[in-house]
Amino acid sequence: MSPEIISSMLERIEQDNVRFLRLQFTDLLGMPKNVAIPAKQAEKALTDGIGLDGSSIEGFVRIEESDMVLRPDPSTYAHLPWRPRENGVARFICDVCKPDGKPFEGDPRYVLRMAMEDAAKDGYVFNTGPELEFFLFKMIEGRPTTQFQDAGGYFDLAPTDLAEDVRREIILALTEMGFEIEASHHEVAESQHEIDFKYSDALTTADRVVTFKFAVKTMALMRGLHASFMAKPIYGINGSGMHVNCSLAKDGKNAFYDPDAPLQLSETCMHFIGGLLRHAPAITRVANPTINSYKRLVPGYEAPCYVSWSTSNRSALVRVPAPRGNSTRVEFRSPDPTCNPYLTFAAMLTAGMEGVRKEIEPPAGANGNIFHMTTAERERDGIGTLPGSLAEAHRDLLADDLICRAFGPHVVDALTSVAEADFFCCLKLRTFRPSLSATFLIEQTQMHRTGRPGRSMTQMKDIDTMRRARDIDGLIGALLDPAEAVRLTAAEALGTVGDERALDPLERLKFSDSNVGVRRAASLAHARAVGRLAEKKAVEGWLLDT
């Protein structure tokens, strides 16, 4: 960072009467984290960065190599408008680096930056514009519920839509933070809402997605409401999606538009679609990152299930909206708001660019309702199926060399660890909800078959043998790091500290935007567990339950 930029930022911080700075970054799950510093430390942060222990951050590094540095991106500076102007608070979004100044390969922001630099070699800029949906639920005695705040429906207005004022306050706050809001409205389900903001380059947009969720949750809480970005918080009604509109620009022009081509879609656009469709199963792993995500991807609720494209059909995975010219774009409809936007955009761009470079032609567009087609009709038209579970999606990711190379081995291995953690949490939780048993057993079995990158089938068979033999020590070593064993048996750990309310798995699965909330709760109890005996007891409990 040049001395001129540092000097300019210090002047702005002083002019804004900022007294504290939040240095924000995201973990592998896309969850925002931050270190707060007094404004007097701003020059040090901008010049040298601020040190960080990355050993406790999801998807980062082991304790013996945990030293990292946060380096603020000056373009992301924003005042937090819900904080008082006097003695104000501002934030920077940071890049995560190693002590030697090199980028940390596990930083999701770095992964997206590398994908964008790769596309730039061919002269392309990747632009994205997401449509985030969310629910506003009531809170009772400071705890979230799934009670609707209103009974409104699609495009309803007050008095049926009781959240008009809340949305307006959110929009004003986002605008002050640099967003250009295009529209807001009540969505299809009760208490479901959408606020759309203007597209930008993918890195800027990913930063804004993280900021958007953080701001919406904060503003809702100030109104006594719980904002949930969970994909499917309630069975039987629409879930929340994050449709991503995207396009490539070259030499300042929309590369997807060709006025003389069929449908006015350029070859670049068609090949980009071809790449998206080819790699859609692997992209699903990060676009739909939780077990709950796959409860949304079912027929009947305007969410895609099949790998297809269309110019008008909303049952397709990829849709090309009607506007042309500079507004020509492709809408990728599977992502949900729990996704890490950096990894999702990186996967989409990597897949699309392979389509452009290899001239991958998509199959014929599906103009009919795909949900009404038979299996034979879909096979005839070359329409594949999206993964039906997180385990399937993870298997598809590991089988996709292109997307794995784009993420790098660190991120892929970390995604595997997170998936295993989610499955084992749910496997333990099913003890308290027998109705969940079949689903979790199936997904756990699929996960075992998937394994970690580099784990051989012989090793997988050894794991099954150890399970049957009740070889607890062997299982601890083969499946998980020893330190994980207690942490991943959330229900048992919570029971140990007497938090019976937290034992309700349905509640835990609903109110954690990913299943990280369950793991966090277990980590608190893990601090009370001591020695190998506790680890053995935890895994023994898992064995007896399966």
Q: Is 142 left (phi over 0), alpha (psi -120 to 50) or beta?
A: left
Instruction: Please give the Cα distance from 77 to 100 (Å, whole number).
Output: 25
Q: How sure is the predictor about 65, in pLDDT bands with cuts at 50, 70 and 90? A: low
Specify the pLDDT at position 119.
98
> Lowest mean pLDDT: which of 183-187, 237-241, 468-472?
468-472
| Residue 64 in this model has a pLDDT that exceeds 60 | no
Question: Of these residues, 185, 223, 314, 452, which one is catalytic?
Answer: 314
Considering the candidates 27, 58, 107, 133, report the single residue annotated as catalytic.
133
- Tell me, yes or no, if 285 is annotated catalytic: no
SS3 483: coil
Distance of alpha carbon 102 from alpha carbon 104, whole angstroms: 6
User: How many Å is the Cα radius of gyration of the chain?
Assistant: 23
pLDDT at 409 over 50: yes
Q: Residue 202 and residue 182: Cα distance in Å, rounded?
A: 18
Please tell me the predicted confidence (pLDDT) of residue 531.
Answer: 36
Q: What single DSSP character describes residue 327?
A: G
Query: What does the pLDDT average to over 130-140?
Result: 93
**Of 5, 67, 68, the residue nearest 42 (C-alpha):** 5
Pairwise CA distance, residues 156 & 147, whole Å: 19
Q: Which residues of 440-479 are buried (b: 16+ CB within 10 A; e: fewer)?
A: beebbebbbebbeeebeeeebebbeebbeeebbebbbebb
- Spatial distance between the Cα atoms of 8 and 455, rounded to a whole number of angstroms: 51
Residue 91 token pair: 């934030």
Q: Grade residue 541 by pLDDT with cuts at 50, 70 and 90.
A: very low
- Compute the mean pLDDT over every residue in the chain, rounded to the nearest whole number: 79
Instruction: Name the band, by pLDDT with cuts 50, 70 and 90, for residue 273.
Output: very high
Give the residue from 208, 217, 170, 209 showing the smallest Cα distance to 76. Answer: 208
In angstroms, rounded to a whole number, what is the distance separating the alpha carbons of residues 219 and 203?
24
> Residue 59 has what pLDDT?
66
* Most confident of the ranges 27-36, 469-478, 510-519: 27-36
Question: What's residue 476's pLDDT?
Answer: 41
pLDDT band of residue 62 (cuts 50, 70, 90) is low
| Stretch 352-360: mean pLDDT | 97
pLDDT of residue 387: 92
Is the pLDDT score of 226 beyond 80?
Answer: yes
Q: Looking at the predicted structure, is the pLDDT value of residue 55 above 80?
A: no
Structure tokens at 471: 């070889």
Confidence of residue 171 (pLDDT cuts 50, 70, 90): very high
pLDDT at 142: 84
Among this protein's residues, is 186 annotated catalytic? no
- In the predicted structure, residue 425 carries a pLDDT above the cut 80: no
When pLDDT is averaged across residues 240-255 and rounded to a whole number, the result is 96
Instruction: Given the residues 331, 336, 422, 513, select the one marked as catalytic.
Output: 331
Q: How confident is the model at residue 427, as a pLDDT?
A: 54
- Nearest in space to 199 (alpha carbons), one of 129, 116, 125: 129
Q: Specify the 3-state DSSP secondary structure of 189.
A: coil
pLDDT of residue 159: 78
Say which residues have a Cβ less than 8 Å from residue 384's Cβ, sequence separation at least 6: 277, 280, 281, 306, 307, 308
pLDDT of residue 534: 44
Do 274 and 362 meet the contact criterion of CB atoms below 8 Å apart? yes
Upper half-sphere CA count for residue 336 (Cβ side, 13 Å): 30
pTM: 0.79
The conformation of residue 361, written as its DSSP 8-state character, comes to P
Q: Is the pLDDT of residue 546 over 70?
A: no
The answer to whether 333 is a known catalytic residue is yes
CATH number for the region 114-407 comes to: 3.30.590.10
Q: Catalytic residue at 314?
A: yes
Specify the pLDDT at position 436: 39
Whole-angstrom distance, CA of residue 298 vs CA of residue 380: 21
278 or 449: whose pLDDT is higher? 278
Distance CA 337, CA 528 (A): 34
The yes-or-no answer on residue 176 being catalytic is no
Whole-number Cα distances in Å, 143 to 137, 221, 331, 502, 511: 10, 11, 36, 12, 10
pLDDT in tens, 81-134: 999 888 899 999 999 999 888 999 999 999 999 999 999 999 999 999 999 999
pLDDT tens figures, 286-341: 999 988 899 999 887 788 999 999 987 778 899 999 888 889 999 999 999 999 99
Q: Where in the chain is the domain with CATH 3.30.590.10?
A: 114-407
Q: Is residue 424 very low, low, confident or very high in pLDDT (cuts 50, 70, 90)?
A: low
**The two three-digit tokens of residue 72, written as one number:** 């603020």
For 3-102, CATH gives 3.10.20.70
* Tokens matching residue 248: 């490539």
Q: What is the rounded CA–CA span in Å between residue 241 and residue 305? A: 13
Q: In this structure, are residues 109 and 204 in contact, taking their beta carbons and an 8 Å threshold? A: no
Higher pLDDT, 453 or 74: 74
Q: Which amino acid is at 468?
A: R
Q: Bigger pLDDT: 487 or 319?
A: 319
Q: What share of the chain is helix, strand, coil (3-state, %, to 5)?
A: 45, 20, 35
List, for residues 180-223, the tens digit of each pLDDT value.
999 999 988 888 999 999 999 999 999 999 999 999 999 999 99
Instruction: Give me 303's structure tokens.
Output: 């969410």
Separation CA 117–CA 481 (nearest Å): 35
The residue annotated as part of the active site, out of 333, 395, 508, 519, is 333
Listed in sequence order, the DSSP H helices in 76-185 are: 108-120, 164-176
Question: Other CB atoms closer than 10 Å to residue 368's CB: what's the count?
Answer: 12
Per the model's pLDDT, the better-predicted residue between 301 and 148 turns out to be 148
Check pLDDT > 70 for residue 472: no
Model confidence at 151, pLDDT cuts 50, 70, 90, reads confident
Q: Which residues of 74-88 are buried (b: 16+ CB within 10 A; e: fewer)?
A: eebbbbbbebeeeeb
Give dist(CA 228, CA 217) in Å, integer. 8
Q: Is 243 a catalytic residue?
A: yes
Q: Could you tell me the pLDDT band of residue 478, with boundaries at 50, 70 and 90?
A: very low
pLDDT at 149: 86
Mean pLDDT over 27-37 rounds to 92
Catalytic residue among 187, 443, 484, 513: 187
133 in catalytic set? yes
Q: Which residues contact 494 (CB under 8 A, 6 or more apart)?
A: 502, 503, 521, 522, 525
At 456 the pLDDT is 35
* N-to-C CA span, the chain: 55
From 131, 258, 396, 400, the catalytic residue: 131
Let me know: does 100 contact 94? Beta carbons within 8 Å.
no
3-state class (DSSP) for residue 285: helix
* pLDDT score, position 108: 96
DSSP state of 506: H
Of residues 280 and 525, the one with the higher pLDDT is 280
Is a pLDDT exceeding 60 seen at residue 469? no
pLDDT grade for 407, boundaries at 50, 70 and 90: very high
Coil, strand or helix: which one is 423? helix
Query: Would you say residue 515 has pLDDT above 60?
Result: no
Task: Name the percent of the chain lying above pLDDT 90.
Answer: 52
CATH 3.10.20.70 boundaries in the chain: 3-102
HSE toward the beta carbon, residue 28, CA cutoff 13 A: 28
Whole-number pLDDT of residue 426:
58
